[in-house]
Amino acid sequence: MNFNSEFNNIAENYLFAEVAKRAGGYSAKNPDKKVLKLGIGDVTLPLVPEVVKALHEGAEEMAKAETFKGYGPYEGYEFLRLNIQNYYKQRGVTLALNEIFVSDGAKSDLGNILDIFSKDNRVLVPDPVYPVYVDTNLMAGRKIIYANATKDNGFLPMPDYKTDADIIYICSPNNPTGAAYTVAQLKEWVDYANKKGAIILYDAAYECFISDETLARSIFQVEGARTCAIEFCSFSKTAGFTGTRCGYTIVPAELGKDGFNANKMWLRRQATKFNGVPYIVQKGAAAVFTKQGLKEINENIKYYKTNAETIAKCMDSLGIWYTGGKNSPYIWLKCPDNMGSWQFFDLLLEKAQVVGTPGAGFGKNGEGYFRLTAFGSKEVTKEATERIKTLLTK
Ligand code: PLP
């Protein structure tokens, strides 16, 4: 027996462990000080009533022989896929039902999709980046090429035809930078991918935070995307499903090459390794799309967006450069006075008792930057930004 030695190539989960260690160490030494957390990427508001009602109904159905459900379809129940189809239709994207695959979240599918690609693909990932794209490929022994996301390109790298890539990761609105591509910018990536015979794995987990009409909510709003893209989305941030677990992946019917068809391969993969999302959870997810469900989740999204605005206003008043905050729950800021990410982390913790996430933990281009999130409560966000303002006002 030999273990997969590629695991030696992935970094220890250093970032959040180190953040917790430093914040915990500070609290232990200063028990009288209230530490405010603006570092988490998890939601804090509970599920909305319309979803909870559907979850209860689902549980009741499972309790009766006439309505009990055993194994469901691998690709998800039709009632939920119809709702997702309609959600896309509202922004002009037509999808066939068999192009929609319900999953237990975007993270699982972002990792699992790699089953349908060969090991020798060259993988292009932006830096800084959501670490899942890098680690899942390193585990499978693939080499990674990085696309530099920097202040100069607004943390939105554009294609470079001198670089040959086969699998391209794009996350928009981005975690950690909050930057989001316009439809026109994505068209350049789609053209590049079609020209190179590459595939874009498009992570739209934060699409619900977009209000600017020029920004893309789906890569399938871009002409040509159906021949080069797979899209991953989730109810986690849209409807607070981080602990309930439900997402969806769109694989166009015509996506393929050399006699291989991505849609058929993905269905085959799911049928082999996945037995579907619980019926009760899919009932809850379907309720997100009712008139009342949409009204309720939009109130929650608005709540987080107001927090993002509070943080953005604080940065504006301090003259600190940042991306995100407007069409994203993340604010990615340049550490003041050319401080390093961890230096700024320690300063905020020790002098203002505010915890954020050092940008250096997301890749080399993250050094000197810092991520704050809008997923805290309104009160914590307000107090934390006031403390930051007091600390950094010269
Ligand atoms: N994609 C990005 C960019 C994320 O930041 C996250 C979670 O934080 C996910 C995907 C995971 O989403 P899910 O909860 O659906 O697995």
Please write the tens of the pLDDT for every residue from 247-296. 999 999 999 999 999 999 999 999 999 999 999 999 999 999 999 999 99
On the question of pLDDT at 231 being above 80, the answer is yes
326: phi > 0 → left, psi -120 to 50 → alpha, else beta; which?
Answer: alpha
- Ligand 1 atom nearest residue 108's Cα: 16
On the question of pLDDT at 13 being above 80, the answer is no
3: Cα separation from own chain's centroid: 30
- What's the CA gap between 272 and 121, in Å, rounded? 23
- Ligand 1 atom nearest residue 247's Cα: 15
What average pLDDT score do residues 305-317 get?
97
Half-sphere exposure of residue 50: CA atoms within 13 angstroms, side-chain side? 18
Model-wide pTM > 0.85: yes
- What's the CA gap between 215 and 186, in Å, rounded? 9
Ligand 1: residue whose CA is nearest its atom 5: 175
On the question of pLDDT at 394 being above 80, the answer is no
Nearest residue to 216 via CA among 177, 161, 179: 179
The pLDDT assigned to 12 comes to: 78
Overall size of the chain counted in residues? 394
Six token digits for residue 301: 């999204």
CB atoms within 10 A of CB 67: 12
Ligand 1: centre distance to CA 65 (Å): 36
- Ligand 1 atom nearest residue 107's Cα: 16
Best of 136, 175, 208, 232 to mutate for ligand 1, by most ligand atoms within 8 A of CB?
175
- What's the CA gap between 38 and 268, in Å, rounded? 41
- What's the CA gap between 157 and 310, in Å, rounded? 27
CB atoms within 10 A of CB 151: 13
Six token digits for residue 197: 């015979």
Q: Is residue 64 within 8 Å of 265, Cβ to Cβ? A: no
- At 186, the pLDDT band (50, 70, 90 cuts) reads very high
Ligand 1: centre distance to CA 254 (Å): 26
The pLDDT assigned to 293 comes to: 98
Ligand 1: centre distance to CA 108 (Å): 9
- Ligand 1 atom nearest residue 130's Cα: 3
- At 11, the pLDDT band (50, 70, 90 cuts) reads confident
The pLDDT assigned to 211 comes to: 94
- Ligand 1 atom nearest residue 203's Cα: 1
Weakest-pLDDT range from 12-16, 240-244, 350-354:
12-16
The pLDDT assigned to 14 comes to: 73
Mean of the per-residue pLDDT values of the chain: 96
The pLDDT assigned to 2 comes to: 96
**Residues whose beta carbon lies within 6 Å of some atom of ligand 1:** 41, 105-107, 130, 171, 175, 203, 205, 234, 236, 242, 247
- Ligand 1 atom nearest residue 42's Cα: 8
Ligand 1: centre distance to CA 22 (Å): 25
Burial of 70 (0-12, 13-18, 19+ CB in 10 A): exposed
What average pLDDT score do residues 290-303 get?
98
Report pLDDT digits (tens) over 335-348: 999 999 999 999 99
Q: Nearest 5°: phi and psi at 354?
A: -120, 135
Residue with the bigger pLDDT between 17 and 277: it is 277
Ligand 1: centre distance to CA 300 (Å): 18
Residue with the bigger pLDDT between 15 and 251: it is 251
Weakest-pLDDT range from 16-20, 204-208, 274-278:
16-20
Ligand 1: centre distance to CA 205 (Å): 6
Ligand 1: centre distance to CA 202 (Å): 12
- Ligand 1 atom nearest residue 242's Cα: 14
- % of residues, the chain, pLDDT over 70: 100
Ligand 1: centre distance to CA 106 (Å): 6
- What's the CA gap between 123 and 144, in Å, rounded? 5
Nearest residue to 250 via CA among 277, 281, 221, 279: 221
Best of 206, 231, 236 to mutate for ligand 1, by most ligand atoms within 8 A of CB?
236
